[in-house]
Amino acid sequence: MYNPGFHHIQNYAMVCLYLNLYQITDEELNLRSEVKDLKAAQDTISMTDEFAKYAKFQRRIDKLLVTIKEHSSFRAKHTAMLTFGVKIGIHVMHVV
């Protein structure tokens, strides 16, 4: 038997859990802000005239982006596991 309200409950439960458990941390927000600042500073440098300085900025930006991607990957992986767990839990409760 199909229950349209069932999917709304499931989505609501997942969103509530996700927002409480896997928020973007202050560290990640600071990293993103730092990348933005570094890119702005890099834009003021001529790549051809000051290549070494430009490349140094680019290496720092790349290193920060890798760290940000690691944080995002962690959140995505845990969100997928959480979604799967909530779906299974709700289906079990629905059957019982």
- Residue 43 amino acid letter: D
20 belongs to a structural domain: no
1 belongs to a structural domain: no
5 pLDDT higher than 70: no
Q: What is the pTM of this model?
A: 0.63
pLDDT in tens, 11-70: 666 666 656 666 778 888 899 999 999 999 999 999 999 999 999 999 999 999 999 999
CATH code of the domain in which 52 resides: 1.10.287
78 belongs to a structural domain: yes
Q: What is the pLDDT of residue 76?
A: 80
Domain count across the chain: 1
12 belongs to a structural domain: no
17 belongs to a structural domain: no
CA-CA distance, 71 to 22, in Å (whole number)?
A: 10
Return the half-sphere exposure (C-beta side, CA atoms, 13 A cut-off) of residue 37. Answer: 7
81 pLDDT higher than 70: yes
